[in-house]
């Protein structure tokens, strides 16, 4: 287990984070400049904060109260920076062996051979980094980090410079490495697809603080704040008001009329913010009778944006065109349902997919989660 508590005050930025993670693949997620790299560097011993501690499986690597500070070379941390940090004057084999220079020659050869096989680098031993592709360089950097038999593997945006196909291949390689060695892996990313593809646990950063720690499903479905919701692709965010409660549900008033959600503990009359993910918007098949009549909303389809195998749709409420809803559908569903821009359709918002926040105001307008011109660049995954 990794137990991290760090505090450091800079002139224009304060790092104040606290989280724990098990022997799994943990993603440190958030935009650039929020403290993710500082946190990883503190775990590796490359940055010493003013206060806090770093503990790994019960061993104390840093503790400001007791004065403990284990040097980086004694922590046995595998660290892969964003641009890999390979030595250009060394061959692949020499780069991999760099961290095990003090072991016997026979053991060094054996470990390097094991890493070459694990990372599918056989036949490239005598090449230099400049003679390798980006994916090969990344695998060499991973091999160099793993050959020391680390207690923790730290990856600082290590997949960010790769093309999508190669990134997907190396994501799978990383999963296999974690499963084989059973060591904690901390991966920094601000890429939503990558976070969803890899994370067993998500640690969400915002402005130098950890604002949520949880499983992938928990963070994506139940974000702690409106800002976290936006960060993980919950684009549909609205203000509303609690109308009434029943035994197992709560009825809200919002621009789309009334909405039934799973029971929440807010007072009747209280203003709240709620949200739901684009992939949770269901289109009603008009030829089929509905078992329920609540949470049905009349919309007009205004825009359609292909995003790989999915389509992102921009919908407007018929009774209030200023209110925008985003829906995501697989391409085959678009075809089967005959959906196209210009149509008036009915959508269903299932109560269990709606998440209610304990805040009453959005930072910007009631209906505008993100500028429409940004829609075509959105590539949020579908949990």
What ranges do the domains of the chain cover? 2-221, 235-369
- Could you give the C-alpha distances from 188 to 134, 148, 168, in angstroms and in order? 18, 21, 16
* 57 pLDDT more than 50: yes
- E strand or H helix at 326, and its extent? strand 320-330
15 vs 336, which has greater pLDDT?
15
What's the pTM?
A: 0.83
- Determine the 3-state secondary structure of 59 from DSSP: strand
**Domain 2-221: top CATH class:** alpha beta
pLDDT at 366: 37
The distance of Cα 199 from the centroid of its chain, to the nearest Å, equals: 7
Nearest to 184 by CA among 78, 257, 308: 78
On average, the pLDDT of the chain sits at 87
Residues 24, 201: contact at Cβ < 8 Å? Answer: yes
Average pLDDT over residues 44-73: 96
- pLDDT the model gives residue 378: 36
Look at the domain 235-369 and name its fold.
OB fold (Dihydrolipoamide Acetyltransferase, E2P) (2.40.50)
How far is 158 from 259, CA to CA, in rounded Å? 43
pLDDT at 81: 86
Residue 260's DSSP bridge partners are: 251
Q: What would the pLDDT profile of 349-365 be if each residue is shown by its tens digit?
A: 999 999 999 765 665 43
Look at residue 292 and tell me whether its pLDDT is greater than 70: no
Angle between helices 134-146 and 105-118 (to 10 degrees): 140
């Amino acid at each position: 287990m990794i137990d991290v508590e760090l505090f450091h005050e800079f002139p224009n930025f304060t790092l104040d984070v606290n989280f724990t993670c098990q022997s799994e693949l943990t993603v440190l997620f958030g935009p650039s400049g929020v403290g993710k790299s500082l946190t990883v560097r503190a775990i590796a011993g490359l940055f010493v904060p003013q206060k806090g501690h770093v503990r790994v499986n019960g061993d104390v690597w840093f503790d400001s109260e007791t004065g403990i500070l284990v040097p980086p070379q004694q922590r046995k941390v595998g660290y892969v920076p964003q641009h890999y940090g390979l030595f250009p004057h060394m061959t692949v084999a020499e780069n991999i062996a760099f961290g095990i220079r003090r072991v016997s020659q026979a053991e060094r050869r054996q470990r390097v051979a094991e890493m070459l096989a694990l990372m599918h680098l056989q036949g490239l031993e005598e090449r230099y980094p400049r003679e390798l592709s980006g994916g090969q360089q990344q695998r060499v950097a991973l091999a160099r980090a793993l050959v020391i038999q680390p207690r923790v593997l730290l990856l600082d945006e290590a997949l960010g410079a790769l093309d999508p196909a190669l990134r997907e291949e190396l994501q799978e390689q990383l999963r296999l490495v974690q499963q084989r060695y059973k060591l904690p892996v901390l991966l920094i990313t601000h890429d939503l697809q990558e976070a969803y593809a890899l994370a067993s646990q998500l640690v969400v950063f915002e402005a130098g603080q950890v604002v949520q720690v949880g499983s992938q499903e928990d963070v994506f479905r139940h974000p702690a704040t409106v800002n976290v919701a936006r960060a993980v692709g919950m684009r549909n965010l609205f203000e509303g008001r609690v109308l009434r409660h029943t035994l197992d549900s709560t009825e809200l008033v919002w621009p789309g009329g009334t909405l039934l959600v799973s029971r929440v503990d807010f007072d009747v009359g209280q203003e709240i913010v709620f949200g739901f993910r684009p992939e949770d918007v269901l289109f009603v098949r008009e030829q089929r009778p509905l078992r329920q009549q609540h949470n049905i909303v009349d919309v007009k389809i205004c825009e359609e944006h292909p995003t790989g195998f999915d389509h992102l749709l921009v919908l407007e409420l018929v009774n209030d065109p200023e209110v925008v809803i985003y829906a995501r559908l697989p391409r085959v569903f678009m075809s089967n349902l005959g959906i196209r821009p210009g149509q008036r359709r009915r959508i269903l918002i299932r109560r269990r997919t709606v998440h209610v926040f304990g805040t009453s105001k959005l930072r910007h307008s009631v209906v505008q989660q993100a500028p429409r011109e940004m829609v075509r660049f959105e590539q949020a995954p579908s949990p």
